[in-house]
Structure 1
């Protein structure tokens, strides 16, 4: 029995699996980067809102009735 064709097919499957793995790693990296950017943006927005609230609160304290 000649197992060469089976080994060739197995090698093709391995190469395909490696390519898919690389593609998935690239996609995971992209999603992680987008998540980090979204978290940074959310934190920055909360910080800006908090600062604006603090300014309004402080200025409101100095206003007369």
Structure 2
């Protein structure tokens, strides 16, 4: 997990249909960068069932004995 660059922010925004200029992309990168750096130490170590898209599946799964 690496800190997103302004170039990556701009590309992601364009894919989402939002146009951002270079200054805005830089501000976004600078504001969310510390969160990426904070989680870098545990990146890839969380149990797979904590992944948000599987939340409903994990909550409705029956436990086998």
Q: When the two structures are superposed, what TM-score results if normalisation uses the length of structure 2?
A: 0.28
Greater share of residues in helix: 1
Higher relative contact order (CA 8 A, sep 6+): 2
TM-score normalised to structure 1 length: 0.28
Radius of gyration: which is bigger? 1
